[in-house]
Amino acid sequence: MSPEVVTLSDSILFSLLAIALIVGCAWLLDASRGKDRVIFGTILIVMLLNYLYFRITKTLPDFEWSPYAIWPRFYLGFEVVVIFYTVLSIVFFFKRTDHSGAADASEALIAQHSRHPAVDVFICTYNEELSILERTILAAKAIDYSNFAVWILDDGRRDWLEDYCNEIGVRYLRRSDNVGAKGGNINNAVRRSAEETNAPFILILDADFAPQRGILKRTVGQFIDTEIGLIQTPQFYYNADPVQHNLLASKAWVDDQRIFFDVMQPSKDGWGAAFCVGTSCIVRRDALELIGGMPQETVTEDIHLTYRLMQKGLKTRWLNERLSVGLSAESLSGYITQRCRWCLGTIQVALLKDGPFLGRGYTLMQRLHYFHGLLFWFCRPFILLLMAAPLLFYFLGLPAILMEPEAFFLYALPMVAAMWTFHSWVSGRRSLPLFTEVSQMVSAIPITIALVHALFHPFGRPFKVTAKGEDRGRVEILYPIAATFFAIIVLTFIGMLNGPLLSTYNDLDGFSIAWGMVVMVYAFVSMLVCIELPRAPLEKLELSLAREAQIASGGKASRCMIDTISVDTARITMNEDSALSQMRLGDILIFAPFDNFDVAGQITSMDRANAGLSLAIVAVRDRRDDYEIRKGAEDIRRKMVQRMFSEMPEVMPARAFPILAIQGLMQRMFARPAVLIGDLEPYTLNGREAPRKFHKPRFFSPKVPLLQLGGGAVPPAAAE
């Protein structure tokens, strides 16, 4: 037991003062400045080390060969892993890069030359549906670059996909087997493309990641630095991940990967240790040839690729710009499978003879960064111990920590508050207590199992592709994990009644009650995540534009707000009552939801009270490429898909909104399922334009004065 001599009121006062100091640091310091990160980070490191010293010296029973003495030390061992990982993360946050200037220079360099360096665009696919694939393929065709070839690498060997590629004019490749999984697929494409295009640069895309138009102009010119072997851009998503979706937090909290991509990778890049994440990256062909091709020995060929490039003195540059949009795992099972594969692959690379631990050619900092990544996965078992600790105390009388309430307020609470505050501050308010931890808790059990299996049998397991485009039209329950969290809640509550709440009360009982209540809250929210809410089919995706524009009707131009748009419909709010009063069902309206893109829509419903219109898209014209009017349903659909996904605004939250997140959680907890499901608006993507500005777009070119629809004519917009 810790021999504190201060009173409880004094320790609470000290805790409040320490928390006030931490909040003051967050208020006064700027996370974008390196010096401020060092100051705040150093304060937190001192608090962590002070807590660790206290834990080691004051909270352990005398050693003996008994569960009472061994269990607290076992628990402390994993707590040390978490603290060491946290300290390393803080130190790495001291540095941060921003290569936007280099991207600007790349774009300027490309603009100076009419003939751009050739690029092969590899789209890797195995079993994805066309509804997912075509978004990537059509967006790739729309890349703003003069010299590239799109290759579809089909490891599923599907004839219908080959026919589709021939129809739209992209190259198609398949092989007779799936040796090496994704890495083997890319190596086959490298060999085959060398015979035809032999482009010096290769853009690698997963089947569900649509490139944005500027991705090549922003990256290719940076390879003028010959030390760069690969440029990696972050993954952004246009749908909520399972944790966001199932907690109704898709508009209130960032996705699970946002902190890693937006904060951790720029920091790793500052230390020269950023790594490839498998998609939306551009690699030099000669760099691949130098290392013997894409690695195939592990299930994470991406990070393995980076470390093989490091051995040759080449670096991975992290360009923290939104240059692709993709589909996040839609189901919790897919989400967990994906993370278990990353965990296994991280261990596999660590055990290879040419890996960062056993291989030659790595710097100490590169090895340390890989060790940091490995520690991330070894922190997961601690979550299970955290949930099990109260139960062991209630039923077996085995405390994990011998700590008085006074010591808790002196050492533990200020440290936890400081960690939450610092991570929210350094991440630009992307971190959110409870939600951030729950995203790790739901996968803690399978990842711990994967860790144990990987330690004994690291190789030989097949590559598991993350399922995308699944039927998510009904409630699904991940029973094994949900039942585990339910059991934790029930047993913790029974243990409280059986032990500290109805028995003799002491300091450890009070500490264990508070601990148990926290565990029950986290377990309950995690259980909610395991009860998956339905999602609408991908084909029903709507993009929320919230964009002011002009609309042409009856030979006049009026102002409107384009609320949402999909591949075949649009919703518009009129800004002028006089124009709305003259509109009727069946009228044809012309507007521009995107730059240099005209859409003709026919009014299918009207809400005059709210000045709202629903339109069916009947014709489009892309003035960016040509002035051809497309009226066929399939032509319209493909062109809309291309424009929506090649120039998609940021649709997911860029930071956390705590009040909105709590409101969603309360609704998720107490609303009846039928009401809850009925209120969902799945796959309506909320774009952000701030501030909103009215732009008067050019609707028509003098080359085409009228947009012809069938046998009739649509009145042109007002004079520009």
What does the DSSP 8-state code read for residue 264? I
Q: How far apart are CA 1 and CA 5, in angstroms?
A: 12
What does the DSSP 8-state code read for residue 613? E
Q: How far apart are CA 13 and CA 17, in angstroms?
A: 6
**How many angstroms separate the most distant Cα atoms in the chain?**
93
Q: How far apart are CA 520 and CA 532, in angstroms?
A: 20
DSSP codes joined into one string, 667-706: HHHHS-HHHHHHH--TTEEE---SS----------TT-SS
CA angle 424, 231, 365 (to 5 degrees): 65
In which residue are the tokens 């497309």 written?
630
Q: What is the C-alpha radius of gyration for the chain, rounded to an integer number of angstroms?
A: 28
Q: Report CA torsion sign: 190, 193, 197, 198.
A: positive
Asked if 155 is an active-site residue, the reply is yes
CA 554 to centroid of chain Cα atoms? 45
CA distance to 541, 563, 607, 653, 683, per residue, from 686 (Å): 11, 10, 22, 9, 9
Q: Can you list the alpha helix ranges (DSSP code H) found in 591-684? A: 633-646, 658-670, 673-679
Asked if 622 is an active-site residue, the reply is no
Q: How far apart are CA 128 and CA 404, in angstroms?
A: 56
Q: Which amino acid is at 322?
A: R
Q: Report CA torsion sign: 41, 42, 43, 44.
A: positive
DSSP codes joined into one string, 407-447: HIIIIIHHHHHHHHHHHHHHTTS---TTHHHHHHHTTHHHH
In which residue are the tokens 């805790």 written?
15
Give the bridge partners for 599, in sequence order: 591, 620
**What percent helix, strand, coil does the chain show, rounded to 5?**
50, 15, 35
Q: How far apart are CA 215 and CA 698, in angstroms?
A: 26
The bridge status of strand 119-125 relative to strand 201-206 is parallel
Instruction: Note whether 563 and 546 are within 8 A (CB).
Output: yes
Structure tokens at 300: 């994470």
Which long-range contacts does 625-631 make (Cβ < 8 Å, 24+ apart)? 627/701, 627/703, 627/704, 629/704, 629/707, 629/708, 631/709, 631/710
Structure tokens at 622: 């892309």
Question: 3-class DSSP state for residue 36?
Answer: helix
Is the backbone peptide bond immediately before 458 cis, with ω within 30 degrees of 0?
no
Give me the phi and psi of 534, to 5 degrees please.
-65, 155
Question: Going by C-beta distance under 8 Å and a sequence separation of 6 or more, which residues neighbour residue 716?
Answer: 552, 555, 699, 700, 705, 706, 707
Kindly name the residue from 206, 302, 598, 622 that is annotated as catalytic. Answer: 302
State the Cα torsion 675-681-686-692 to the nearest 10°: -70
Q: How far apart are CA 152 and CA 174, in angstroms?
A: 8
Q: Which are the catalytic amino acids?
A: 155, 302
